Amino acid sequence: MMVLVDGKQNVGIAYLIDLKDKAFVLYLAVDQSIRGQRIGGKTLSALKECYPQGGYS
């Protein structure tokens, strides 16, 4: 499990399977009060940088 943080505020969670060179996202949730601020997209972009071999679902 990964907690999504923006500054000092927890803004969401992600459950993923980490295979060292790949990651499979099982669940991604962003706090309803801040949806639409690209938090989910930024999270996926950061994961793509961390796991260049892919495996995103």
For residue 10, the model assigns a pLDDT of 96
CA distance 6 to 22: 24
Beta-carbon contacts of residue 32 (< 8 Å; ≥ 6 apart): none
For residue 22, the model assigns a pLDDT of 87
pLDDT digits (tens, 9 = 90+) for 4-46: 998 999 999 999 999 888 889 999 999 999 999 999 999 999 9
For residue 42, the model assigns a pLDDT of 92
